[in-house]
Amino acid sequence: MDLSGSVPPPFPYTSPIIPNFSVPSSSPSISPSPSLASTALFCSLLSLLSLLGITGNLYTLVLLLRRRRSRRRRGAGLTCCLMTVLVPSCLANSSPSSSPISSTSSSSSLHLQVLSLALADLLYLFTAPFIVYDSLASGWAFGEVGCRLLLSLDLLTMHASIFTLTAMSLDRYRAVAHPLRTSSSNSSGLLRVGLAWGLAVALSLPMMITLHLEDEEDQESQLCVPAWDEQSSKAYLSVLFCTSILGPGLAIGALYATLGRLYWVSQTQPAWATVSSTACPPRAPKPKVLLLILGIVLAFWACFLPFWIWQLLPLYQPDMLRTVPVGTQVTVNRILTGLTYGNSCVNPFFYTLLTGKHRRNRQTLTSANQLCRKSSPLQ
């Protein structure tokens, strides 16, 4: 994603609200475009990232959909088994938080969230061919509908990703800190994913509504630009920074700090300290699953935080870019654009590892419950 134009405008600051694409320039003494070799390299690397990312995210989607279909086929037999055998055993020897029902529901919720992340990455990567074309051509060539949809899609997918990651981190925290009160049913997981996308749509609507086509000074081509002034742009971008980076960052940081404390307590507290407690104590977090989720979050921040700094810098410190050549600004803008697409390219590896690790944990938990049934006096 790139909220600034690939070509800087005549103002001393970079217009922060034209995702990925060109903005007008009226500085004939300074060529706003980098060399042809630089443009060709940027387009080649972006095309490669897009191809790898689309392939990886499609693989993730197919893999998760196959697993969901496989679980549905086993659903009837599992329900019968739970009703006739597992329920008495669990009542005698296990807590509700460790039952296969809770484990399966938690896995289903996680898979829904990973599907949401992969879909957001996929939609974002589909905008790469338009960026490549816009970098090689002059003017906007996709009409006003394309202007509104393609540019607002950047904001939509960015917020959908970070909101889903926040919900995923919250689910991990609730599963560890409050296992008995954790609700991880299909409907609740779908509700959280739907809420994440709904909020993302609401935040991208101002961009979609205000974008329009304007004729260039030569009247030979058109540009896709928003209909607001510098102050409005500053306010809107500040809100987006808070909703996509600052707010979720503080929330996720607080959740993982609490999980780290719970993990430390679980490793250092004596076993007899919680035996007499009638309430179900917090479960020890599974470090590998938590680290994989944290890895996805850190990768998002590493790829998008430099981009956001670059967008907000000319708004709050416009004098800092006055001495920077226009060609350098374009190069930096392209590097940061490629970095955000690189995030969507590497994410499928995290998704595959995360769902595979969570699946193995669920199988281990199911095996433990089977051993519990075999040793139960009710059997």
The pLDDT, as a whole number, for residue 180 is: 63
Cα–Cα–Cα angle for 65, 71, 72, rounded to 5 degrees? 90
Closest CA to 244 of 191, 289, 337, 307: 307
CA–CA dist 176, 262 (Å, integer)? 8
pLDDT tier at 205, thresholds 50, 70, 90: very high
Residue 217 carries which DSSP code? Answer: T
Q: Is 326 helix (H, G, I), strand (E, B) or coil?
A: helix
> Who has greater pLDDT, 373 or 201?
201
What residues are paired with 224 via a beta bridge? 213
Closest CA to 259 of 176, 144, 339, 335: 176
CA 365 to chain centre: 28
Q: Is 211 helix (H, G, I), strand (E, B) or coil?
A: strand
The residue length of the chain stands at 379
Residue 282 carries which DSSP code? Answer: P
> Who has greater pLDDT, 272 or 86?
272
pLDDT tier at 294, thresholds 50, 70, 90: confident
CA–CA dist 296, 243 (Å, integer)? 18
Closest CA to 158 of 337, 351, 350, 310: 337
The pLDDT, as a whole number, for residue 74 is: 58
Integer-rounded Cα Rg, in Å, for the chain is 25
Among the ranges given (170-184, 188-202, 228-242, 327-341), the one the predictor scored with the smallest mean pLDDT: 170-184
The pLDDT, as a whole number, for residue 229 is: 84
pLDDT tier at 181, thresholds 50, 70, 90: low
Residue whose tokens read 């870019």: 321
Residue whose tokens read 């659903």: 75
Judged against a pLDDT cut of 70, whether residue 283 lies above it is answered with no
Average confidence (pLDDT) over 356-369: 49
Average confidence (pLDDT) over 294-306: 90
The pLDDT, as a whole number, for residue 281 is: 54
Closest CA to 255 of 197, 188, 177, 358: 177
Among the ranges given (34-48, 92-106, 330-344, 352-366), the one the predictor scored with the smallest mean pLDDT: 92-106
Judged against a pLDDT cut of 60, whether residue 76 lies above it is answered with no
The pLDDT, as a whole number, for residue 125 is: 93
The fold of the 36-273+280-374 domain, in CATH, is Rhopdopsin 7-helix transmembrane proteins (1.20.1070)
Mean pLDDT, rounded, of the chain: 74
pLDDT tier at 323, thresholds 50, 70, 90: confident
CA–CA dist 184, 190 (Å, integer)? 10
CA–CA dist 10, 30 (Å, integer)? 10
The pLDDT, as a whole number, for residue 256 is: 87
> Who has greater pLDDT, 315 or 109?
315
The pLDDT, as a whole number, for residue 23 is: 37
CA–CA dist 320, 338 (Å, integer)? 23
9 burial (CB, 10 Å; 0-12 / 13-18 / 19+) is: buried
Contact assessment for residue 179 and residue 239, using Cβ atoms and an 8 Å cutoff: no
The long-range contacts involving 372-376, CB below 8 angstroms and separated by at least 24 positions, are 372/89, 372/90, 372/93, 372/94, 373/85, 373/86, 373/89, 375/93, 376/88, 376/89, 376/92, 376/93
Judged against a pLDDT cut of 70, whether residue 369 lies above it is answered with no
> Who has greater pLDDT, 18 or 173?
173
Among the ranges given (45-49, 104-108, 295-299), the one the predictor scored with the smallest mean pLDDT: 104-108
> Who has greater pLDDT, 32 or 260?
260
CA–CA dist 82, 84 (Å, integer)? 6
What residues are paired with 327 via a beta bridge? none
Average confidence (pLDDT) over 16-43: 56
- For residues 232-261, one letter each, b for 16 or more C-beta atoms within 10 angstroms of the residue's C-beta and e for the rest, the string is ebbebbeebbebbbeebbeebeebbeebee
Residue whose tokens read 């920074």: 241
Instruction: Give 212-246 pLDDT, tens digit per residue.
Output: 888 877 667 777 888 888 888 899 999 999 999 99
pLDDT tier at 118, thresholds 50, 70, 90: very high
Where is mean pLDDT largest: 20-29, 34-43, 150-159, 210-219? Answer: 150-159
Where is mean pLDDT largest: 5-14, 218-227, 342-351? Answer: 342-351
Helix (H) or strand (E) holding 214: strand 211-215
CA–CA dist 173, 259 (Å, integer)? 6
Instruction: Give 42-73 pLDDT, tens digit per residue.
Output: 999 999 999 999 999 999 888 888 877 776 66
Closest CA to 67 of 337, 366, 363: 363
